[in-house]
A = this chain, B = another copy of it.
């Protein structure tokens, strides 16, 4: 059966590439993946999955970092014009762009796979040296670009769905294929976890495309060294005044912001492990001769454990408040994203390793299970939810040669990974559902 899965991956590979390029061309940013979500939903329906979308799998209140109404509405209209399937568009519009396909197939373990679907806020490079541009599928949505491989993730997910449906006679249990919006900024996973959709899941796994180094392994079975993180938007509100005529009547929001910036960077290092802080953007003031009335900052803190992230967040929030008091301004703080540190199950990774070593032995496999992530991923929310009731979870790396690094406007990856990806996912699901069956 593993051989058959391999054959199907190869057979469907051209379609997977085509799908990935279409998604790449119509890249959509977090919470705005309407065309994308409708394509996924339509395809899952076509394959025979029960399709859930929007409120079916999302707790609306638990979403984070949703764009303003006007942006949501403009994108709704855009997706309409681009021919998004109206049946699903109505369900996923206005920041509800999560989709899942469910296959209930008798007794057996419930396995969830997660694929993230959103693009980044970059303007894609337009030069002939850039493969997507040269081949006509660079983004037509200015300011949205798949520069982190989620187009590939989505295509892998749909081909995985196709293969699993092909072999459904041979497996037993429930399959939940989750297509998650807004992973960038770690905003979208929480609302799916908190919807309860994962509460019967025995195994959850996901994978991220990553650059292959000289050792040319094909995958890692898990990731560590990820950061728990909290994303905060901070707005200082002061009082503007003419800077020459009556400076004393102002309350200078920018002075509060400047204090906040410097002091956030001076939070003491922590001997328990790595921490991070960044003020990524600042926008303040209206004119050169006016004392700035508002200053808006986008901030993030991180820690390699959830405790370290909490240490950073608590300290940061003190500084944010103190900076307001410092120049008598008022501050508004909004949480825009949050993720735990990844915690991959050792036993589960070993289980996958054995399966790969036995049945996918043409792959080049590493000796150790884990490889560092370096950043943050809100798949950690889903993992924690599943682990909370005793389920197993891991987050794998799929390695492939890359041009430029992720989050860069000239990012591109070698598409061969689109053949390997569905094979690995489908093989693991088969291994888990077959095995349980045999017991």
The CA of A375 and the CA of B298, in the complex, are separated in Å by 34
Residues of B within 8 A of A246 (CB): 271
The CA of A370 and the CA of B248, in the complex, are separated in Å by 24
Q: How many whole Å from A270's CB to the nearest CB in chain B? A: 4
A314, closest chain B residue (CB) = B328
Residues of B within 8 A of A375 (CB): 242, 244-245, 289
Residue A131 at the chain B interface, CB threshold 8 Å: no
Instruction: From A40-48, A160-168, A274-282, give the one contacting chain B.
Output: A274-282
The interface size bin for chain A is 35 or more
Q: A269-B275, A326-B322 are in contact. Are A227 and B244 (CB under 8 A)?
A: yes
* Residue in contact with A325 in the complex, picked from B278, B285, B318, CB distance below 8 Å: B318
Residues of B within 8 A of A324 (CB): 322
Residue A133 at the chain B interface, CB threshold 8 Å: no
* Residue in contact with A247 in the complex, picked from B244, B278, B292, CB distance below 8 Å: B278
Chain A binding surface, main DSSP class: mixed
- The answer on a CB contact under 8 Å between A248 and B270 is yes
Identify which of residues 336-381 in chain A touch chain B, using a CB-to-CB cut-off of 8 Å. 336, 374-376
Q: How many whole Å from A125's CB to the nearest CB in chain B? A: 15
- The answer on a CB contact under 8 Å between B280 and A287 is yes
Copies of chain A in the complex:
4
The CA of A325 and the CA of B263, in the complex, are separated in Å by 12
- The answer on a CB contact under 8 Å between B299 and A271 is no
* Residue in contact with A268 in the complex, picked from B247, B257, B289, B336, CB distance below 8 Å: B247
* Residue in contact with A261 in the complex, picked from B254, B336, B374, CB distance below 8 Å: B254
- The answer on a CB contact under 8 Å between B247 and A271 is yes
The CA of A350 and the CA of B375, in the complex, are separated in Å by 37
- The answer on a CB contact under 8 Å between A248 and B263 is no
Q: A322-B322, A325-B318 are in contact. Are A282 and B284 (CB under 8 A)?
A: yes
Residue A250 at the chain B interface, CB threshold 8 Å: yes
Residue A319 at the chain B interface, CB threshold 8 Å: yes
Residue A195 at the chain B interface, CB threshold 8 Å: no
Residues of B within 8 A of A244 (CB): 227, 229, 276, 278, 302, 374-376
Residues of B within 8 A of A275 (CB): 269
Q: A287-B121, A288-B278 are in contact. Are A250 and B262 (CB under 8 A)?
A: no
16 A-B pairs with C-beta separation under 8 A: A231-B288, A245-B374, A248-B269, A248-B271, A252-B265, A255-B263, A259-B259, A262-B263, A281-B285, A281-B286, A281-B288, A282-B285, A282-B292, A285-B298, A288-B298, A322-B326
Instruction: For the A-B complex with A244-B302, A278-B291, A282-B282 known, give 14 more contacts whose Cβ atoms are closer than 8 Å.
Output: A243-B280, A247-B268, A248-B311, A250-B268, A254-B261, A255-B262, A258-B258, A268-B291, A279-B292, A280-B288, A282-B292, A288-B299, A289-B375, A318-B327
Using a CB–CB distance below 8 Å, which chain A residues touch chain B?
Answer: 121, 185, 227, 229, 231, 242-248, 250, 252, 254-255, 257-259, 261-263, 265-266, 268-272, 274-292, 295, 298-300, 302, 311, 315, 318-319, 321-328, 336, 374-376, 407
